[in-house]
Amino acid sequence: MPARSSLLIFAGAIIVAALAILWSTRTAGELADGLARQAQDVVARSGAREAQVSFATADGWPSRHALLTPTAELDEGTRADLAGAIAAIPGVGGVHWSDGTMLAESGEATFTSMHCQDDVASLLNARTLRFEESSADMDFGNDELLDEVAAALRPCLGSIIAITGHTDSSGDEAANLALSRDRADTVRRELVARGIPQDGLRARGVGASVPVEGLDPADPANRRIEFSVIAKVPLIPTPVDTPSAR
């Protein structure tokens, strides 16, 4: 009898815990859905419709931290204004962009530019990572420059490193966008091969949408790879982000 009673008590505890988790998840989901609706209204009013908003973790759990994903190129002012407006919604724990930049609960930036970005820019101002024409395959002779880029990035490991591919405006826009993304992916693979952790690298392509200031968009000098290196400060999980029995 004592063993049977213990078993019943244990089974009851499991049921209670499961119901508590289910209720917690449902409540968290309702909160996340409400925040998402408010954030979508903010996006619509801002006119920056090239952004999608999600209030969920990578595993699909509801979260009060907003993830913004740009669907087109947004200038830094628009990005900052939009993230700030969403961060001001009561209940939002933080706002961050899928390509790296973040606003914390207070609206202050928790990411800061790193000296590595300037170091890499200096390298690429003097020399260029070259690709075969209309291809994401790299030309021979890039190995030394890639070694130097990896060495310049290494002191900032643990940060998020965004790799952005650009093209000139010649050719089809959709093809240019895909090519710029493929070239950024190629550079990411080369850096991983040189010991830069893949989980800290973000590759994206913007085609010909962001030409070098002062250059004609068709100028071949617009075919380039740029790096942004930002230090990250991890968010502290909230009960909504880690559903559990209460």
pLDDT at 106: 36
Domain-located, residue 236:
no
Q: Are residues 89 and 134 in the same domain?
A: no
**Same structural domain for residues 126 and 199?**
yes
Mean pLDDT of the chain: 75
Q: What is the structure's pLDDT at 166?
A: 92
Amino acid 49: pLDDT: 66
183 located within any domain: yes
The whole domain housing 169 covers 112-231
Give the residue from 72, 103, 134 where a domain finishes. Answer: 103
Whether residues 51 and 133 share a domain: the answer is no
Q: Name the percent of the chain in helix, strand, coil, to the closest 5.
A: 45, 20, 35
Q: Are residues 31 and 74 in the same domain?
A: yes
Please state the domain count of the chain: 2
pLDDT digits (tens, 9 = 90+) for 177-187: 999 999 999 99
- pLDDT value at residue 131: 83
Residues 212 and 180 in one domain: yes
120 and 219 fall within a common domain: yes
Amino acid occupying residue 54: S
242 in any annotated domain: no
Kindly state whether residue 215 falls inside one of the protein's structural domains: yes
Give the pLDDT of residue 164.
Answer: 92
- The reported pLDDT for the residue numbered 100 is 56
Instruction: Using the 3D structure, point to which of 103, 126, 143 is the last residue of a domain.
Output: 103
d(CA 213, CA 222): 10
Residues 116 and 223 in one domain: yes
Instruction: For residue 212, give the CATH number of its domain.
Output: 3.30.1330.60
- Claim to verify: residue 96 and residue 182 sit in the same structural domain: no
One domain, residues 212 and 120: yes
**Which residues have C-beta within 8 Å of that of residue 171, sequence separation ≥ 6?**
134
Kindly state whether residue 241 falls inside one of the protein's structural domains. no
Q: What is the pTM of this model?
A: 0.52
Specify the pLDDT at position 184. 94
Domain closes at, from 46, 76, 103: 103
239: in domain: no
Whether 98 and 116 map to the same domain: the answer is no
Question: Would 238 be classed as within a structural domain?
Answer: no
- For residue range 92-146, what is the model confidence (pLDDT) as tens digits? 767 777 765 444 333 433 444 457 888 888 888 888 888 887 889 887 788 899 9
Phi, psi of 161 (to 5 degrees): -115, 110
The reply to whether 83 and 140 lie within a common domain is no
**What b/e string do you get for 14-39 counting C-beta neighbours within 10 Å, with b at 16 or more?**
eeeeeeeeeebeeebbebbeebbebb
Task: Give yes or no: residues 57 and 132 share one domain.
Answer: no
Going from the first residue of the chain to its last (246 residues), give the mean pLDDT of each consecutive group of 10, the final group possibly shorter: 56 54 52 80 73 73 77 71 80 70 41 68 85 83 90 85 90 92 94 90 91 90 86 50 43
